[in-house]
Amino acid sequence: MLKVLQARFRQGFRTGKFPAVPPNLPEHFRGRPEITPDRCSDCRSRICLSACPANAVQMAENGVTIDLGRCLFCGKCAAACESGAIRFTGEYRLGAMKRDSLICRPGAMPEPEQAENPELRRLCGRSLKIRQVSVGGCAACELDFNVLNTLAWDMGRFGIQVAASPRHADCLLITGPVTENMLLALKKTYAAVPRPAFVIACGSCAVSGGIYAGSPVVHNGVEDILPVDLYVPGCPPHPAVLLEALLYLMGRKRGPIA
């Protein structure tokens, strides 16, 4: 018992101060990309399109767009870009309720999406019970969601908890591209959640199928199967990205600028 108490003092208080202060992100963290219009529109090579492993970079009128719903944040488009038009910024506030908000277009980086949803705030503002369902996830999204439960992030202080049963959940947090073999289980789990049931697509696989899109045994993400209320880009989303997005879903204002 004495040893336990000694250890308690030695280990100290470790919970981060987010969202009162910006999250502690690594120096090389790759957040929302920024596309410089002039440099991009003058480019002839379009080498970024073939460099992208996830089909996230697409041609547009005044340059290219990057779909964060597909993006792995690997940075290969920026490395390949000969005109220096693509740069990954430290913007971690990536969660969005509208799919279109995940499309990065050439130009100044927009403010993160702000959606007014008083119903969500009333229902979940102080308590969000999450049932996680992995449907082909590689375990990274699952692990970094689990991290929010550790004392480093302690999502419980915001009233966010993992529910063991879908019957006790407000929402499903779905990871993975939705394998054929999990389709029925996913539908049954969703049916078991009391209404209104919210759906979070966490990670590029769940949003769009990610790099598994097009495989004959996956369903290219959640979108065609369940109505999605929150998209969280990343491969996997950094815990700060996911927590900020969850708080946004609960009706809080967006997190501080990193």
Partner 1 sequence: MNNGFLILTNGVSAPVADVPVLPMAPFRQMVLDAVLNGGARVAAFFVLPPENGGESRLIAVLAAPQQHQILVASGVIENNCYPAFTTECPAFHWFEREIYEQTGILPQDHPWLKPIRFQPAADGTAPAPGVTDYFQLQGDAAHEVAVGPVHAGVIEPGHFRFQCLGETVHFLEIELGYQHRGLEQLLLNGPVPQTPHWIETAAGDSSIAAATVYQTLIRGLSPDLPPEPESAGIWRAIMLELERIANHTGDLGALAGDVAFLPTASYCGRIRGDYLNLTAMLCGNRFGRSMWTAGGAALPIPASAAAVLRSKMDELRGQLNNALALMFDTPSVLDRLENTGVVTTADAASLGLVGVAARASGLKMDARHDFPLPGIPVLETVPHEPVGDVFARAVIRRQEIAASDRRIMDLLGLIREDLPAAPSVWQVPVLQPDRIAAAVTEGWRGELWQVAVTDANGKFRRFKIVDPSFHNWAGLAMALRGEEISHFPICNKSFNLSYCGHDL
E-state strands within 108-234: 128-134, 160-162, 171-175, 198-202, 230-232
Q: Which residue among 79, 84, 159, 224 contacts partner 1 (CB under 8 A)?
A: 79
Q: Which stretch binds partner 1 (CB under 8 A): 34-42, 92-100, 109-117, 210-218?
A: 210-218
Q: Does 225 bind partner 1 (CB under 8 A)?
A: no
Q: What is the Cα–Cα distance from 117 to 165, expressed in whole angstroms?
A: 26
Q: Other CB atoms closer than 10 Å to residue 223's CB: what's the count?
A: 19
Q: Does 208 bind partner 1 (CB under 8 A)?
A: no
Residue of 40, 22, 39, 21 lying closest to 31 (CA atoms):
22
Q: Which residue among 65, 132, 208, 220 contacts partner 1 (CB under 8 A)?
A: 132
Q: Does 190 bind partner 1 (CB under 8 A)?
A: no
**Residue with smaller CB distance to partner 1, 114 or 181:** 181
Q: Which helix (H) or strand (E) holds 121?
A: helix 118-124
Tokens standing for residue 88: 């990954």
Q: How far is the CB of 119 from partner 1 (least distance, A)?
A: 27
**Residue with smaller CB distance to partner 1, 153 or 251:** 153
Q: Does 69 bind partner 1 (CB under 8 A)?
A: no
Distances (CA, A) of 44 to 38, 62, 83, 128, 133: 12, 12, 10, 48, 43
**Residue with smaller CB distance to partner 1, 130 or 250:** 130
CB 194 within 8 A of CB 168: no
Tokens standing for residue 161: 């908890």
Q: How far is the CB of 256 from partner 1 (least distance, A)?
A: 20
Q: Does 165 bind partner 1 (CB under 8 A)?
A: yes
Residue type for 252, please?
A: R
Q: Does 89 bind partner 1 (CB under 8 A)?
A: no
Q: Does 21 bind partner 1 (CB under 8 A)?
A: no
Q: Does 3 bind partner 1 (CB under 8 A)?
A: yes
E-state strands within the chain: 33-35, 57-60, 63-67, 86-88, 103-104, 128-134, 160-162, 171-175, 198-202, 230-232
CB 255 within 8 A of CB 19: yes
**Residue with smaller CB distance to partner 1, 169 or 247:** 169
Q: Which stretch binds partner 1 (CB under 8 A): 35-43, 107-115, 128-136, 248-256?
A: 128-136
For binding to partner 1 (CB under 8 A), which residues are involved? 3-4, 7-8, 10-11, 14, 26-30, 50-54, 72-77, 79-80, 132-147, 149-152, 162, 164-166, 176-177, 179-182, 184-185, 189, 211-212, 215-218, 235-236, 238-239
